[in-house]
Amino acid sequence: MGANQTFSIASIPADGVGKEVVAAGRRVLDTLAENSNGKFAFDWTEFPWGSEYYARTGQMMDPKGLEALKDFDAIYFGAVGWENVPDHVSLWGLRLNITQNFDQWANIRPVKFLPGVQSPLRKADNTELDWIVVRENSEGEYAGLGGRNLSGRGPGNEVALQTALFTEKGCERIMRFAFDLARTRTVKKVSSVTKSNAQQYGMVLWDEVFNRVALDYPDVQTESVLVDAMSAKFILKPEDLSVVVASNLNADILSDLGSALAGSLGLAASANLNPERRFPSMFEPVHGSAPDIAGQGISNPIGAIASAALMLDHFGLRGEARQVEAAIEAATGSGHLTRDVGGNATTEDVTEAIIKALTLTPAAV
């Protein structure tokens, strides 16, 4: 990356608290840029898509939206979902429409235990815990294959088929991504999550590909764990975890469990990556639109701001990404906590605390 580079970012706040947390994340990123001495800048374009757009148009996004997004350097996403749109319509109409069509096949969700945030996990009080869930993001249980039929037979006779898709290519590329990530970490270990005792086709293929790929990474420890046993391991032996790789559904559930153990889904960051960079990648918190607190100014912005740090990593601004993460830790450590993590700070309070910490913490080299 050269000096004086401007990154073009498509902002899609979408629904509910998404609007509040995306605004907070943009403020943090713009503060970084302002203090970079011209090293980089961000050029924002906001798109009004989401459930309000659906109420006006009958669609979650513009039919030409993908064409409009494809040339951006990244997408910064808020949250999707509201009572006026069925959840499967809102999800497939916007978020999954982007991730599927832009082949954002690698989803990473770090599990971070922050100072000042009480975890429901007693072990977190005196044990160093830090792991990343790597989610296959393009196929598996969310491939969208299947259908409904036979409704003509009358009530109670309809049939629905939901087909999980596992391909050797899809399994191998997410596993190599996980192994490469593990090589960058202090604990070089990949835990594969499966359910091959019951799902004897797709998950057995997953296991076979994992065993084959592991041969190319003799320096990385491995284990294969059934998803039910891994759910228990997240609680009983989380210190054994470093990189956890799993299929679309299993990783989705496990990553939410990890964030809950860290204290709140409001802390959870994620990146939907197209590693080949043929398309822009998308960065988003995972907490949802939270209609019960939307508009009250009390949502937790940390998941969105930590997602912005993942975006900085994607841009090659690794020192600045660590700077944002350190500022988040400084804010929570000094007691700036929203209600979901036991405090009474507002979204604005936490954002201001993070921005203040940014100005006191130089970027790592």
DSSP sequence for 218-253: TTSEEEEEEHHHHHHHHHH-GGG-SEEEE-HHHHHH
Q: Is the pLDDT of residue 1 over 50?
A: no
Confidence at residue 2, expressed as pLDDT on a 0 to 100 scale: 47
Report the Cα 142 to chain-centroid distance in Å: 16
Judge whether 142 and 154 are in contact, CB under 8 Å: no
User: Strand, coil or helix: what is 73?
Assistant: coil
In the chain, what's the furthest Cα-to-Cα distance?
Answer: 69
pLDDT tens digit string along 109-148?
A: 999 999 999 999 999 999 999 999 999 999 999 998 999 9
pLDDT band, very low/low/confident/very high, at 292 (cuts 50, 70, 90):
very high
Round to whole Å and give the CA distance between 313 and 301.
19
Summarize the confidence of residues 235-257 as an average pLDDT. Answer: 97
Identify which has the larger pLDDT, 351 or 359: 351
Query: Which secondary-structure segment (H or E) carries 22?
Result: helix 18-34
Round to whole Å and give the CA distance between 234 and 175.
20
Token pair 């007691």 in the structure block, residue: 335
Judge whether 76 and 9 are in contact, CB under 8 Å: yes
Give how far Cα 120 sits from Cα of 123, 232, 268, 342, Å: 9, 14, 16, 12
Q: Is the pLDDT of residue 305 over 90?
A: yes
Q: Is the pLDDT of residue 364 over 80?
A: no
pTM for this one?
0.94
